[in-house]
Structures are given as structure tokens and as C-alpha cells.
Structure 1
């Protein structure tokens, strides 16, 4: 068994887990000394501090996403398998129990040894995308500590203990990168160089809370579709840490930590679209990805959470896709980190509640989108693409909902339009449009749910993060 597991890419920790290890003896009386053989510790993946940050200025040697034979322009919608509708769901047992206190059914419950490695192209490309995210987070968290002086942290009311938390989150990424590399094997993506759209600490915190949101949401989108259940298990245990990081960055930014009842899930191509523009260059022969890069959507009146009145803004972002807030034109009297009144202050805290909401139903949201065909991502070797010629709807993708609002005053010459934020809830009492969420332009109002949101990809014209709360 040990030889088989080794060939499957198991690390020493999992050999101990599945093959068994001797437990420490139980003692009922105190002992003066106690010792046992040390357990095997898995080495972390090699990593270094990235020394260069900035845009890629060379010439790409390869362009386009990884591809083989494409069988169809899209995957057609089909009815659910009939067997899924047959289970009576009456609270009774309907099959023989395989063991005491164990119901029949389930996946991976037959006692077979789990294999912690990818099992399909879908698995590999999904976990490789997740690893690209872990690498940028490892660098981003270290970069922020090195880039911004202690005085700027203190001006934003962040202490040495807060800076250590940021350092610890970087160390968490070493573990995440290691576990994904071990499951992917020798061709796993490696560290790259990066280009961040920020010049101030407040902009940095906003970019961090948006990046951790799309990274988290991207994993939630593909996790239930993985062929390898064991790989999904380990990725789940890392992404729950990522979710906590996102909440910490919201608290650093003086935002309500979790203003939603359900966390949003998005397709891999959405997460890759958001991530790729901030990767400058990667090592030669780096593992390439299959996912699509959508054109950027610019929210011209993107809510700015650094302002006391964050909804009264115009063109205060550092660019499309992430739509990271800009602090360049905020007067000191309008900067909410300096405010002291309850409902106005956005100083770091366990929780903050705004008197003036960042966004609200009925708000007019002005949009501008890029045309496709622009180089983006590592070494400018990917190209933005869409099949949509005329966008007609804004798709608000949040929590469990995909809600469409019509685009108004569409101008294809300069690619602008506006829409009205809809008034919609997930369940009574929970406004659906809230938090750090996604906004897409589409040509149809296709009915999709979190489990099959990828069906919308062929109809997406452009994509953005929207700071609804």
C-alpha cells in the first residue's frame, strides 16, 4: 500500500493518516517525563520573496488559453437525471446500512483509501487556478508590509498586532501553496511577478478584500464539481481559511464583516478574469490555464468605502475588473477613517455600520466596458474574449441569486450604459445585493443557479467587482 500511495503523490503526512500510526499511550497518573518518536513533517514548497513588481514590458512568446479540440460552442442545458428525483426524503431509511450508525449512500464512503491528487483535466485546471491565487496572496501580503511604512498603518489605525496578523496570513499561504502543489505534481504553477493597482494603504486593503473574495468565490464555484473528492476535501479546508482572511480585510477597512447570509460562488473563468491582469510575468514554460479572460467592466460610480458618503462618487477607482477604490481625490474631512461619529467612521473594528449605505435598490449605476482582444495576464500571453456583440442586461451575481436588470442608454460606440440596482432578496429579510459581489454584462437573462452558473459564460460581455456594502 505504501508504494502505491507514494506513486499517487501522497506526502508523508497522508501516509501516516491512511496507513495508521501508533497512538501515544493513555496514562491516568502524572509522569515526570514522557517522550515518543517525532511525527514526519512535510516540507513546504520552495518559495522566495518576489523582488520585482510592475507591468510586463516584453513580447509574449505564446498567446491564448490552453486548448485542445473544442466539441461545441457551449454546453447545452439538460433536464436533471431522473434518479435524483426519486428519493422520498421522508426522514426514514431506505437502504441497508453498510455499518452501524451509517446510512446507505454517499460518495467515497465504501472504505477505499483516499487518493489526494487530481483526477481529470477539470481537476487539474481548477486546482492550478487556485494555486495561482495562493501564490499572489503570499506575495501580496508580504508586499503590503514592505511597501507601506508603519506610520501609514498607524494613520489608518492599524497597530503592530494588526501587521503581525497580515504577516501570519502570508504564512498561511505557504501552507496552501504547498498542499496544492503536492496534489498537482511537478508541473504545478510556480511563483510569478505581480503588478498591484494601489498607491496607498487604504487602496491596498480594498484590493486585498476584493482579491480574497473572488479567490474564495471561484473555489466555491468548482468545488462540488471536482472528480477527486479527496482533493476537494483538502481544498475546502484551505478555502475556509481564505474566507476568514476576506473578513479580516473587510474589518481592516471598517466594513461590516459579513453583510450576507450566503457566500457567492462563481465559475473559474470569472476568477481567472479577475486575477490575470495583476500577474506580470511567470517562469518560462509555466503551466498554462484553459479558462477564459473576459473584458473589463468599469463601474464609473463604483461605491468608495473610504468615503463617509461612499455612494456619492464618480470615477474613483484604479481601473476595471477589481474596480479597486482610489483615495487620490478624497479630502481629509471626507475620509471616513478620520471620522469619529458612529455610522460615519470606517476605522478598523470588529464591526461597523454605515449611516449612508454604499449602494441601495434604485441606485443608477453607470458602466463602461472594454472591447475584447486585449493582451492580459502572465507575460501578456492571454487575450480577453467574448462572443457577445450587444450587451442587454446587467447580471447581479450575489449570494444564491443571479438577478438581471436591463441596460439603458446603451452606446456601442464608446461602450457605455447604465442600469438600476434591483430590489431583490434571497429570503425575506436578507437583501441579496450586498457585500463584495460580482457584476456582469450579458446579452440574455438566462436562468442559472449557483451550481450551473458556468452556463452563463457564453453570454458574458464584461465583468467587474461591485462594492455593494
Structure 2
């Protein structure tokens, strides 16, 4: 029924033990397309008419007249120069707070360790930040780029040294000091330097700063738009509102940290203006849980690859908090707080694809990103956290049965994180019941008796053509290097899994529709891999990839979406 499903989590472990076993990566470069802006040579893909796709072993091929996914020359900008940006970096002592601390302690401030040390201020949010859709024309278009670019990174064998170390419980090398085994990066006494060290570092952390800024604004917007009475309707209190307020303060701290790692004003970027899809508090919690999830997973995807290990260390310490924020918003929305054993990592271009649709505009002195924006993959029957029975839909009444035979859309708004619609839920809304297992009122933990989705569920999909303006000031453009889609890739926990794309219908401009079945696989025994807010996409290959080399799948990605499996 599933056709071919590739399960690769075990291979990464086996690679360290068996020298001749290694992960396969995509090889070869796509045929070049027309010359992109700036004169760089950029690999693309061309698809002839009649090249419709079929899923592995299935009969649901594309229509004979379909021309498949189109890939115009990728939108890039080789001439972008940012305007100056500055913020107050002067460290000061808060005399009022110091006097209060001394009064409470009953001792002079000078006797309190650290009390008189100046503290660096937070980076100020943009006072001109607004909310709403962007109206206007883009003055700059495309991701920044430099040099001659190819479509793929050539595959290489594993590093020979990676299979040499013997993990047998015996020290293999002499220790340099007592109680510290040999090895490790940054352990030779060199003074740490906490700043980015490469274009990869800079662009990764710049993306992270864009994420921190929207989270700060999002949390404030929730507080501004919804009153204590709105919180009370979801069994939440003023203390829960304060929790959201405190998380906003955390984001200001995260933005300050990343700004410093980027080098201060010369490398940092100001806060933008945003456009959110929710109308109710419950929808806002659903949206926030999804947004913080890709924010967390986006950093887990790149932090191990950073040239600056010092930056990676501090980034880990901020993202540990980010993961707790995602958990909190699930709890506020009545979902089980942590339905997975492992949080997954995704490439930077995936995180930027998810984030960009919700940034309306940025100031003229904002720094620009180099990452790709993929076309959007729409899940037409996206499981809705607003329903008692998300698998049945709002029209089904009651809780019996777990079959979804229609492609009804019960989300609100736009973009990959469109929340479940309370209006569409109607009388089937989980906010209207206090029944244990059905209710989605705020709680430390809600164990839903009816899952949001299930293995074998038919998932209805459609996707956009490349070439759509997205992101700040509509100044970025979606693109793909892939050929016609054949598979759906599911990225969750430690797994990169494929299911066949069936019932494929392609049209000449690159849009299309199809279906697939939700896979039934586990990370380890007892841990269903398809759970929580996870990441799915369309690909032209089912080559195996793992968490550490997942960015190599990008040239094969047709479109990206989010799937709320639990």
C-alpha cells in the first residue's frame, strides 16, 4: 500500500561502526537554466513536456500533457549593500535596582558580589514595528549570492578518521591533564572568541535573529490582542498571561545575544513588521506552537555545522529555552506538551521558507539572507487541533471512527503554520467540552483519546508554482531546482522517511496536486516517528539522508509544508 518507504535513522549509527557503510547523497548537477541576475552561472533543472511523475510502484502517474514543475533561474541579488544600523551598546548600572537590592539585603551595595558591575542593555525592538500585510513594491529582489553556483554538492565518502576510534571503554590516547580525556574541540587552552567565523555562520545566525524578533513580537501581540477574560475562557489565569510576557522578555534576551554574536550593529539587523493568521486566542496558541517548533528545529539543524563552536555553545543554551516555549504553547492550547522522544533538525532554507510568509516588511537597513524560499506545500486536510476528532473533521459529529475521505481544509489564514480554525470547528470544537480526553482547555498535560492523525491516513496535497514573491516587502522569490515530484518526505525526530506521491496532477506552471498515505514507522520501539508538529515536503528522489546531511536534499525539494500529526 505504501510502496517504497526509506528509513534511515539506523544508518548514521552504523556508519561509525562499519567502514564500508555510509550515507548516500544526491549526485550530479542539474542542467543549467537561463542566466540569473548578476551574471552568475547557476545550476537549474529543466523538465520536458510529458514527463509526469508516478510514485514508486503505483499507478497514479501524472497526466500525459503535463509539463511538470518549472524551475526558472533562481532569484538572487549579487549587488546588495546594507544601510548602516546601530543600537546602544553601553553597559550601565541600574542605580534604582541596586538601591532596592541593597535595601532588601540590609547590606551596602558594594558588599554584594557583582552588584556594581555594569550590565549590557537589551537590543531595543523596532519602535516602528507594525502588524498587517505588506502593500507596496519590492525595491530589492532575491536572496543575496556571490560566485559561480552549482545545483548540488558532490557526494564524498566518509572521513576515514571517523571510523578509526575504538569505543571499547579504554582510553586510546594520553591525557594532557588529570581527569580530562584527550580530544574535543576548543579544549587546548585557546581563549574563546564569541563571534561568527564564516558566511555560513553569519547567515545561519542572521536567520536565527529574524526568528527571535518575530517571536518577541508574536508574544507581545498575543498579550495585546487577548484580555484576561479571553484567557479565562480557556481555563487560564493572569499567571498564564505573565508566563507569555516572561517568554517575550526571554526573546529580547535571545535577540541581544545573537546580535552580539553577529558582531554588534555592523552585523545585526533590526526588528521587522509582521502579519499573523489567527483570530482567536486558541488559534494564536496553535500558531505560536508551530512557529516556535520550526525556530527550535531550524537551529538544531545548523548548530553542529557552525565554524564558531563558541557561538554554537551559546546558541544551544538559548534554544534549550526555545524548546520549552514550544512546549508551553502546546500546553496552553490543550495539546500534550512533548509527544516525541527527539526534537528534529531542519536546514536553514526550510526554516526560512516557513518563516518568510509571516514577515510583512523590514526597515531599509535590514540585512538580507542567502537562503532559499521553496514553494509552499498545502495539506488540504491538515489535522486541526481545534477539533475533538481531527481525523474525522468538523462535519462528522461525535467521536467514532478514524477515516478522512475528503480534502476539507479546516485551518484559518495562510502559510505553513495556519492554525486550526475555531469557526470551522463549530460544535465539534474541543474548547466546548470538559470531557477528559476530548477537551483542549489549557492544562499541564492533555492526553487526547482521539489522535490528530494516524498511520495510513490519506493526506491530500497541493503545491504552488515557483516564482511567488514572499517575505519582507515581497522581496524574496520562491524557487526550486527539483524535477517533477514523486515522493513525500517526512522529517521527524531522527527520521527521514519517504512515502509515494500518488494521484498526481501537474499543470504547466508548476502547480499540482496529489495524495499520499501517512507512514507507519517508529524511531525506536514504542516511539512513533510521525508525531507532533513535523516537516514534510515533495521531492523528486527517495535517496536516503540523515539529520546531519539533510541540507543535501534541498536540490531535490519541490515544495515544503508543516504537518500537525499530534
2:469 — aligned with what? 375
2:382 — aligned with what? 302
| 1:199 corresponds to 2:279 | yes
Pick from 294, 307, 331: which aligns with 1:251? 331
- Residue deviations 1:398-426, cap 9 Å, x none? 00001100011000136110000111001
Pick from 440, 449, 454: which aligns with 2:537? 440
> Displacement of 1:71 after TM fit?
3.7
- Residue deviations 1:330-386, cap 9 Å, x none? 22x311122111110111111111111101100000001111100000110000001
Pick from 504, 522, 543: which aligns with 1:425? 522
Distance in 2, Cα, partners of 1:431 & 1:468: 11
1:3 — aligned with what? none
Cα root mean square deviation, aligned = 1.7
Alignment CA distance shift 1:457-1:115 (3 Å): same
Provide the secondary structure at the position in 2 that maps to 1:330: helix
> Displacement of 1:431 after TM fit?
0.5
Distance in 2, Cα, partners of 1:427 & 1:198: 36
Distance in 2, Cα, partners of 1:339 & 1:423: 30
Distance in 1, Cα, partners of 2:333 & 2:375: 28
1:28 — aligned with what? none
Provide the secondary structure at the position in 2 that maps to 1:329: helix
Q: Between the two structures, name the one with larger relative contact order (CA 8 Å, sep ≥ 6).
A: 2
| 1:347 corresponds to 2:441 | yes
- Residue deviations 1:239-276, cap 9 Å, x none? 00000000000001111111111101100000000001
2:196 — aligned with what? 118
Q: What does residue range 219-230 of structure 1 map to in structure 2 within 5 Å? A: 219-230=299-310
Query: What 5-or-longer segments of structure 2 have no aligned partner?
Result: 1-88, 92-105, 394-407
> Displacement of 1:182 after TM fit?
0.9
| 1:412 corresponds to 2:506 | yes
2:19 — aligned with what? none
Distance in 2, Cα, partners of 1:243 & 1:256: 14
Alignment CA distance shift 1:70-1:197 (3 Å): farther
Distance in 2, Cα, partners of 1:273 & 1:109: 37
| 1:315 corresponds to 2:409 | yes
Pick from 367, 372, 375: which aligns with 1:287? 367
Provide the secondary structure at the position in 1 that maps to 2:460: strand
- Contact preservation (8 Å) 1:118, 1:231: yes
Distance in 2, Cα, partners of 1:90 & 1:364: 46
Q: What does residue range 99-138 of structure 1 map to in structure 2 within 5 Å? A: 99-138=177-216
- Contact preservation (8 Å) 1:206, 1:253: yes
Pick from 271, 286, 290: which aligns with 1:210? 290
1:57 — aligned with what? 135
Alignment CA distance shift 1:114-1:416 (3 Å): same
1:465 — aligned with what? 562
Distance in 2, Cα, partners of 1:320 & 1:52: 19
Alignment CA distance shift 1:35-1:308 (3 Å): closer
Alignment CA distance shift 1:94-1:305 (3 Å): same
> Displacement of 1:150 after TM fit?
2.5
Pick from 437, 440, 457: which aligns with 1:363? 457
Higher mean C-alpha deviation, range 249-258 or range 411-420 = 411-420
Alignment CA distance shift 1:364-1:112 (3 Å): same
| 1:170 corresponds to 2:267 | no
1:265 — aligned with what? 345
> Displacement of 1:151 after TM fit?
2.1
Provide the secondary structure at the position in 2 that maps to 1:396: strand
Provide the secondary structure at the position in 1 that maps to 2:498: strand
1:21 — aligned with what? none
Distance in 1, Cα, partners of 2:389 & 2:352: 32
Distance in 2, Cα, partners of 1:311 & 1:405: 19
